[in-house]
Amino acid sequence: MLLQFNFKNFKSFRDDATLDMTATKITELSGHVIPIGNEKVLPVASIYGANASGKSNIHEAFRYMATYVVSSFSFGGDEGGRKNKSEFLKPTPFLFDNSTKDAESSFEVYFITSEDLGAKTYQYWFAVDRNGIQEEWLNYKSKSSRGNYTMIFSRKGETLDMSGIAPKSQENLKIALEKETLVVSLGAKLKIAKLKFIRDWFLGNEFANFGHPIENYFLSTQLPKGFIEQESVQKKVLQYFSAFDPSIIGFNIETVETNDDNKASKVHIDAIHAMTDSNQTAAIPLKLESAGTLKMFAIYPLLQEVLESGGVLCIDELNARLHPLLVRTIIILFLNSETNVNHAQLIFTTHDAFQLSSNILRRDEVWFVEKSESGISSLYSLVDFVDEDGSKIRKDENYEKNYLLGKYGAIPTMKAFDMFKETLRD
């Protein structure tokens, strides 16, 4: 499970930002807390903020880190050679400050393995700028260790300390390592178990940006694992659909063979609806269903993957095209130990203030993003927020009402659209 994600100098976040998934000592909704090893972890983090506040940049920072870890074994090398420098994913630093626009961006995760794997805690960090990796390190500590972490490797510039890696593997890494490549990424490609384990943790996480039209469409075309071949999976998807669209009573799946040997077969899916005036049915191409239905179809494979793997599902704009009660149902799926047996986690951004309820979320599961007049975003938790009187927020407050009233910040500045006054007079 993810314990903490830290990043710095990425897009609108100039300074250190921390999303902490460990539980504080507050007493409400104690059933949300998952004890693993010496840690107490939360399954959900909700992130609120005004439009353009930077909340989507938290999603993008975590996604950038995961993508870099998974892909960077192919970065670097000579232009036009086996590898291409153009593949290098350059970070986007905070550009409105001379001290940061050319500086490195840093990313760090702390995560803990399951009890079955010994409840080990890992700390992984790297810093990257437009020229490549500047620093990288990986540490761990066992369940029985309450003290310092043990180093697996550290890297700073050209200096490498790989004392936690077998000597033969060290030589292979040193030969193939490029400036733009992460040790973890290359080590996973070379099948070094300790490093592959870290890479695979990132692979077990899923990301979705439903505010991006192209990605939204792409996600709606993805099929749940086993959906075509297994009738049992189709029944589960139908049961899932019945929770929000009971008019769909089945699916008709047709595989269309192509004449091109280089192209995969196409799959055509119809949603089956009951006719209102007879016992007959009508078939409608799934792609013609409502945007909300298509989004719920798109979310299903993501839920399937992370609930099976115990990974992290990071969704930008979870509430887009969905009724607040459907959003709440998805949140409860992660909060319920009977449906979330592998301790998957949900991190989502939203404008849906309906979910700001003390009956649904703990104060340490609610986060806010606010952007200053100079364009700098900051991230803070409701549990740490202090009001004008210097008091912390009580667990019996009406979070939704107080948020919309501006008590916690992170809302739009409401100003009249005066530019339309002349137009309206005309």
> For residue range 212-229, what is the model confidence (pLDDT) as tens digits?
888 888 888 888 989 988
When comparing pLDDT for 234 and 78, which is higher?
Answer: 234
Q: Is the pLDDT of residue 342 over 80?
A: yes
Paired with 112 in beta bridges are: 121
Residue 211 in any domain: the answer is no
Residue 424: pLDDT band with limits 50, 70, 90: low
Q: What is the pLDDT of residue 242?
A: 85
- Whether 169 and 53 map to the same domain: the answer is yes
DSSP state of 325: H
Residue 120 in any domain: the answer is yes
Look at residues 291, 322, 338 and tell me which one is the last residue of a structural domain.
Answer: 291
- Whether 186 and 48 map to the same domain: the answer is yes
Q: What is the pLDDT of residue 281?
A: 93
DSSP-derived secondary structure for 365-382:
GEEEEEE-TTS-EEEEEG
Q: What is the pLDDT of residue 266?
A: 80
Find the largest Cα–Cα distance for the chain.
80
Residue 425: pLDDT band with limits 50, 70, 90: low
Q: At residue 371, what is the residue type?
A: K
Look at residues 291, 324, 345 and tell me which one is the last residue of a structural domain.
Answer: 291
Residue 251: domain span: 225-291
CA angle 222-223-225, nearest 5°?
125
- Whether 31 and 126 map to the same domain: the answer is yes
Residue 414 in any domain: the answer is no
- Whether 200 and 232 map to the same domain: the answer is no
- Residue 119, classed as helix, strand or coil, is coil
- Whether 189 and 101 map to the same domain: the answer is yes
- Whether 251 and 116 map to the same domain: the answer is no
- Spatial separation of the C-alpha atoms in residues 104 and 190, rounded to whole Å: 27
Q: What is the pLDDT of residue 262?
A: 62
- Whether 260 and 190 map to the same domain: the answer is no
Other Cβ atoms closer than 10 A to 196: 16
- Whether 261 and 121 map to the same domain: the answer is no
- Spatial separation of the C-alpha atoms in residues 54 and 12, rounded to whole Å: 6
% pLDDT > 70, the chain: 94
Residue 236: pLDDT band with limits 50, 70, 90: very high
Q: What is the pLDDT of residue 364?
A: 98
- Any idea what the CATH number is for the domain that residue 199 is in? 3.40.50
Average pLDDT, the chain: 91
Tens digit of each residue's pLDDT (9 = 90 or more) over 125-139: 999 999 999 999 999
Residue 249 in any domain: the answer is yes
Residue 409 in any domain: the answer is no
Q: What is the pLDDT of residue 277?
A: 86
Residue 147: pLDDT band with limits 50, 70, 90: confident
DSSP-derived secondary structure for 143-201:
TT--SPPEEEEEEETTEEE-TTS-HHHHHHHHHH--TTS-HHHHHHHTT-HHHHHHHHH
When comparing pLDDT for 395 and 245, which is higher?
Answer: 395
Residue 210: pLDDT band with limits 50, 70, 90: confident
- Whether 159 and 279 map to the same domain: the answer is no
Residue 240 in any domain: the answer is yes
Q: What is the pLDDT of residue 276?
A: 86
- Whether 272 and 346 map to the same domain: the answer is no
- Whether 229 and 188 map to the same domain: the answer is no
Query: CA distances (Å), 313 to each of 1, 3, 90, 131, 172, in order?
Result: 11, 14, 24, 30, 34
Question: Is the pTM higher than 0.85?
Answer: yes
Q: What is the pLDDT of residue 347?
A: 98
Q: What is the pLDDT of residue 388?
A: 83
Average the pLDDT over 282-309 and give the result: 92
- Whether 46 and 185 map to the same domain: the answer is yes
Average the pLDDT over 167-182 and give the result: 94
Residue 86 in any domain: the answer is yes
Q: What is the pLDDT of residue 70?
A: 95
| Nearest-10 crossing angle of helices 291-309, 231-242 | 120
Provide the pairing of β-strand 312-316 with 345-350. parallel
Q: What is the pLDDT of residue 209?
A: 92
Paired with 324 in beta bridges are: none
- Spatial separation of the C-alpha atoms in residues 211 and 317, rounded to whole Å: 6
Average the pLDDT over 377-383 and give the result: 97
- Spatial separation of the C-alpha atoms in residues 251 and 69, rounded to whole Å: 38
Provide the pairing of β-strand 312-316 with 206-209. parallel
Q: What is the pLDDT of residue 92?
A: 96
Other Cβ atoms closer than 10 A to 19: 19
Residue 356 in any domain: the answer is yes
Provide the pairing of β-strand 121-129 with 132-141. antiparallel
In degrees rounded to 5, what are phi and psi of residue 213?
-55, -45
> Which residues, other chains included, contact 70 with Cβ-Cβ below 8 Å and sequence gap of 6+?
185, 199, 202, 203
Split into its structural domains, the chain has a count of 2
Q: Is the pLDDT of residue 423 over 60?
A: no
Tens digit of each residue's pLDDT (9 = 90 or more) over 26-79: 999 999 999 999 999 999 999 999 999 999 999 999 999 999 999 999 887 655
Look at residues 260, 291, 322 and tell me which one is the last residue of a structural domain.
Answer: 291
Contact (CB, 8 A) for 278 and 253: no
Paired with 4 in beta bridges are: 20, 110
Q: Is the pLDDT of residue 91 over 70?
A: yes
Q: Is the pLDDT of residue 183 over 70?
A: yes
